[in-house]
Amino acid sequence: MSYSVETFNRYKELCDKSRSAVSREIQYLLNGDTQPKYGENDAKLKSLYNEWRADARAMDAACEKYWHIDAAMIVMPPNDAKHLLCRRMAAINIEREVYGEFVGQKFLPNIVADIRADLANSATHPESCACNYTAGWTYNNLNMLNDLKQAKIDYKASKPSKPSKSIPLTTPLLDDDFVKGLFKSVQGVEYDSKCPHGLPFYACMSCSH
């Protein structure tokens, strides 16, 4: 052991305090509530997370260990009805980050089941959305999330694509009077008058061209 007990305890206290602040800020999401009960400001949550991240880096440096993965906080989805489940998933990822996978995983089965039940909505979300996030999870947890992603793919494949609207190509019909008038203006003769060859002008190749 390359660090003293005093050093360990000093930095552990800092980390415990800062990660507890992060967890309190997301409890309403972890518990499945749709309205915030403690925190409601994503900017504040990110600030608290960054404080914990700095404390974790300091502890690792002081103890010459790599106990913590130095990762930026997951991007919080929009705070609207279409992304409530995604925000819960983001909170679970944050809880896993600050307390470890063993703690974060207890929330995972319920949120995966809820997202599966909402494929009509969640299957339309981009790959970057928290409901598609798998980084950091391992073993059965990762398998569960990959199965969810496959369910989304299968759902989208089961929906027929909408046929594209084609614009019919039509040939404009010309009015008889217009054609006759055009013939007279171009050829200088009446449309149905006879040419020197005894044929209507429009029918004579020599006279109409």
Same domain, 98 and 181: no
Q: Which domain holds residue 183?
A: 171-209
Supply the DSSP symbol for 64.
T
Q: Is residue 204 part of a domain?
A: yes
The confidence score (pLDDT) of residue 166 equals 59
DSSP 112-175: HHHHHTTHHHHTTS-TTSGGG--TT--HHHHHHHHHHHHHHHHHHHHSPPPPPPPPPP-PPPPP
The confidence score (pLDDT) of residue 2 equals 74
Same domain, 130 and 178: no
Same domain, 106 and 188: no
Same domain, 64 and 32: yes
pTM tops 0.85: no
The length of the chain, given as a count of residues: 209
Of the candidates 167, 180, 107, 158, which has an alpha carbon nearest to the alpha carbon of residue 137? Answer: 107
Same domain, 32 and 108: yes
Supply the DSSP symbol for 194.
B
Same domain, 115 and 195: no
The confidence score (pLDDT) of residue 175 equals 61
Same domain, 82 and 178: no
- Give me the number of domains the chain comprises: 2
Same domain, 64 and 123: yes
- 200, β-bridge pairs: 194
Same domain, 148 and 176: no
For the chain, helix, strand, coil in percent to 5 are: 60, 0, 40
Is residue 157 within 8 A of residue 178, CB to CB? The reply is no
Digitized pLDDT (tens) for each residue of the chain, 209 residues in all: 677 888 888 988 999 999 999 999 999 899 876 555 544 689 999 999 999 999 999 998 988 888 888 889 999 999 888 999 999 999 999 999 999 999 999 999 999 999 999 999 999 999 999 999 999 999 999 999 999 999 999 999 988 766 666 555 555 565 666 666 666 666 666 766 776 666 666 666 666 55
The confidence score (pLDDT) of residue 39 equals 47
The confidence score (pLDDT) of residue 141 equals 96
Same domain, 143 and 191: no
Same domain, 147 and 189: no
Same domain, 68 and 45: yes
The confidence score (pLDDT) of residue 70 equals 84
The residue with tokens 């055009």 is 182
Of the candidates 9, 149, 19, which has an alpha carbon nearest to the alpha carbon of residue 95? Answer: 19
The confidence score (pLDDT) of residue 184 equals 67
